[in-house]
């Protein structure tokens, strides 16, 4: 502040310094009472009649020139032009007359490097500060002002390098080579390791993955241009730029909220680009190829249980295939309507095949009428409901044959009895 207040004196002194240098051999003597003195040997006093020994220019209590030194306000400070080195020093003198005992406050090197601080005599950067740096507009209300802390060794969470004036235990610090950490209230909250792994809550321990969260959870909320909060896996800028797989929490349709496993646009694989490959509903139900599961597991498509390398389904109209069979305590097969069951055999208008016709059909086809052949069963399988109805129809036909046969037996018995009584 003293230097700024005396800027006018500096300009005057600079001009007079050049003047006295050029007139070093001038021997004229001039004195005017109270206004100043010019002495032989080129010394000049302005505003003083007593010029200190060794002083070339004396402005009284404001400024004096001693060799290559500009001295302000007695012992308050000195500007040193570097004794021929081309460097500019701002120094604090012990006394006005003693220019050899001082502490350097700032140096401007002829290289353009600037050093600030009593211990920075050889700055190694454009601006080299040997102390803390505070950035603010005022000296009051600066608790949130950014602060760069002076440090020459590895820093710690209790004293981060980049922090705030009123909150000096929170900020960025450098605990080891190629490691950057963040402190909150004096404790390490996050670390970016030399492996590029990031640890959250891992303390001073090295994180073990690209993202390592210890003693905590990861929560993703909000929306994005592609939908709800999501995670995308795989892909690159040249292939599957939107990712290969995605998991999204979908809330777009009321009543159908849940976790959607989907294939992003441009992903690889057959049948790519779609939603609800797997859907975990908020109701606890699971859907495959549907976001509206109506049972604990709802599959919109065909299901194969078995080794896909050995399973061959010739007819894709079937919804479920189980290799090697099903073991169960009970199987219940429903029919669509009463007409699909075989009670029609007992209708009055039912045409029961003649036994001779049945015999000819069996001889020609080697299976019962209305029953699929062995080849058909191998190719198409067996519809349990339909087959049970067909088998029951054959049983009912056998029952009718038995009734007819019984009637004939009774008629023959009556005829035989009549012949025996004659």
- Asked if the model's pLDDT at residue 398 lies above 50, the reply is yes
Question: What is the chain's alpha carbon radius of gyration, rounded to the nearest angstrom?
Answer: 52
Structural tokens at position 12 = 């005057």
Q: What is the pLDDT of residue 17?
A: 43
Nearest to 116 by CA among 129, 132, 104, 103: 129
Separation of alpha carbons 297 and 218, rounded Å? 28
Parallel, antiparallel or unpaired: strands 114-116 and 245-250:
unpaired
Average pLDDT, the chain: 82
- Asked if 61 and 78 count as a contact pair (C-beta separation under 8 A), the reply is no
- Asked if the model's pLDDT at residue 18 lies above 60, the reply is no
Q: What is the pLDDT of residue 283?
A: 95
On whether residue 182 sits in a domain, the answer given is: yes
Mean pLDDT of 254-265: 92
Output the DSSP codes for 193-255. -TTS-EEES-TTSPPSSSEEE-SS-----S-BTTBSSEEEE---SSS-TT-SEEEEEE-SSTT
- Asked if 162 and 148 count as a contact pair (C-beta separation under 8 A), the reply is yes
Q: What is the pLDDT of residue 420?
A: 84
Estimate to the nearest angstrom the gap between the alpha carbon of 73 and the chain centroid. 60
Are 119 and 22 found together in one domain?
A: yes
Structural domains counted in the chain:
4
Q: What is the pLDDT of residue 187?
A: 95
The DSSP secondary-structure symbol of 292 reads -
Estimate to the nearest angstrom the gap between the alpha carbon of 72 and the chain centroid. 58
- Which residue would you say has higher pLDDT here, 293 or 24? 293
- Asked if 218 and 230 count as a contact pair (C-beta separation under 8 A), the reply is no
- Asked if the model's pLDDT at residue 160 lies above 90, the reply is yes
Q: What is the pLDDT of residue 242?
A: 86
Quickly count: other Cβ atoms within 10 Å of residue 127's Cβ: 10
On whether residue 70 sits in a domain, the answer given is: yes
Q: Which of 129, 158, 186 is the last residue before a domain boundary?
A: 129
- Asked if the model's pLDDT at residue 396 lies above 90, the reply is yes
What's the pLDDT band for 337 if we cut at 50, 70, 90? confident
Nearest to 331 by CA among 377, 384, 378, 383: 384
For residue range 184-203, list pLDDT tens digits in order.
999 999 999 999 999 999 99
- Asked if the model's pLDDT at residue 175 lies above 80, the reply is yes
Are 14 and 108 found together in one domain?
A: yes
What's the pLDDT band for 235 if we cut at 50, 70, 90? confident
Are 209 and 247 found together in one domain?
A: no
On whether residue 324 sits in a domain, the answer given is: no
Separation of alpha carbons 310 and 323, rounded Å? 9
Q: What is the pLDDT of residue 249?
A: 95
Mean pLDDT of 125-148: 87
Give the least confident one: 32-46, 108-122, 135-149, 328-342.
32-46
The DSSP secondary-structure symbol of 156 reads B
- Asked if the model's pLDDT at residue 178 lies above 90, the reply is yes
Top-ranked range on mean pLDDT: pick from 4-8, 235-239, 241-245, 292-296: 292-296
Are 361 and 390 found together in one domain?
A: yes
Q: What is the pLDDT of residue 83?
A: 61
Are 44 and 88 found together in one domain?
A: yes
The DSSP secondary-structure symbol of 352 reads P
Tokens 């169960």 belong to residue: 328
On whether residue 306 sits in a domain, the answer given is: no
Are 31 and 103 found together in one domain?
A: yes
What's the pLDDT band for 103 if we cut at 50, 70, 90? confident
Separation of alpha carbons 31 and 38, rounded Å? 6
On whether residue 291 sits in a domain, the answer given is: no
Which SS3 state, helix, strand or coil, does residue 17 take? helix
Separation of alpha carbons 172 and 167, rounded Å? 12
**179 beta partners:** 176
Separation of alpha carbons 417 and 396, rounded Å? 31
Q: What is the pLDDT of residue 280?
A: 97
**159 beta partners:** 156
What's the pLDDT band for 10 if we cut at 50, 70, 90? very low
Mean pLDDT of 330-347: 87
Are 10 and 115 found together in one domain?
A: yes
**128 beta partners:** 115
Are 7 and 114 found together in one domain?
A: yes
- Residue numbers of the domain that contains 113: 2-129
Are 178 and 114 found together in one domain?
A: no
Nearest to 285 by CA among 247, 259, 324: 259
- Asked if the model's pLDDT at residue 113 lies above 70, the reply is yes
């Amino acid at each position: 502040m003293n230097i700024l207040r005396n800027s006018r004196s500096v300009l005057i002194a600079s001009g007079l310094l050049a003047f006295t240098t050029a007139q070093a051999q001038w021997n004229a003597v001039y004195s005017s009472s109270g206004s100043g003195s010019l002495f032989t040997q080129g010394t000049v006093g302005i505003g003083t009649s007593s010029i200190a020994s060794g002083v070339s220019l004396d402005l009284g209590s404001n400024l004096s020139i001693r060799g290559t030194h500009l001295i302000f306000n007695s012992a308050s400070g000195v500007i040193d032009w570097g004794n021929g080195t081309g460097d500019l020093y701002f120094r604090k003198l012990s006394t006005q007359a003693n220019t050899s005992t001082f502490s350097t406050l700032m140096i401007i090197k002829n290289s353009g490097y600037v050093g600030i601080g009593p211990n920075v005599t050889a700055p190694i950067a454009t601006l080299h500060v040997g102390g803390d740096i505070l950035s603010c507009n005022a000296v009051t209300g600066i608790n949130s002002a950014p602060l760069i802390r002076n440090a020459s060794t590895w820093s710690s969470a209790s004293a981060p390098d980049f922090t705030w004036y009123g909150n000096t235990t929170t900020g960025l610090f450098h605990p080891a080579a190629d490691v950057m950490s963040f402190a909150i209230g004096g404790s390490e909250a996050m670390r970016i390791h030399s492996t590029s792994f990031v640890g959250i809550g891992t303390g001073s321990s090295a994180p073990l993955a690209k993202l390592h969260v210890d003693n905590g959870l990861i929560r993703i909320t909000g929306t994005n241009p592609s939908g709800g909060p999501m995670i995308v896996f795989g892909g690159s800028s040249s292939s599957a730029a939107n990712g290969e797989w995605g998991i999204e929490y979908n809330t777009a349709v009321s009543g159908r909220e849940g976790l959607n496993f989907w294939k992003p646009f441009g992903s690889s694989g057959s049948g790519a680009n779609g939603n609800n490959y797997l859907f975990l509903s908020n109701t606890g139900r699971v859907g495959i190829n549907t976001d509206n599961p109506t049972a604990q597991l709802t599959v919109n498509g065909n299901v194969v249980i078995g080794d896909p390398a050995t399973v061959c389904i010739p007819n894709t109209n079937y919804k479920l295939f189980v290799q090697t069979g099903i073991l169960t305590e009970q199987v219940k097969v429903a029919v669509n309507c009463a007409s699909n069951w075989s009670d029609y055999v007992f209708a009055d208008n039912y045409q029961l095949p003649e036994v001779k016709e049945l015999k000819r059909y069996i001889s020609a086809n080697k299976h019962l009428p209305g029953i699929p052949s062995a080849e058909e069963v191998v190719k198409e399988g067996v519809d349990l409901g339909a087959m049970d109805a067909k088998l029951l129809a054959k049983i009912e036909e056998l029952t009718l044959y038995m009734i007819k046969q019984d009637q004939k037996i009774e008629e023959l018995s009556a005829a035989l009895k009549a012949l025996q009584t004659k």
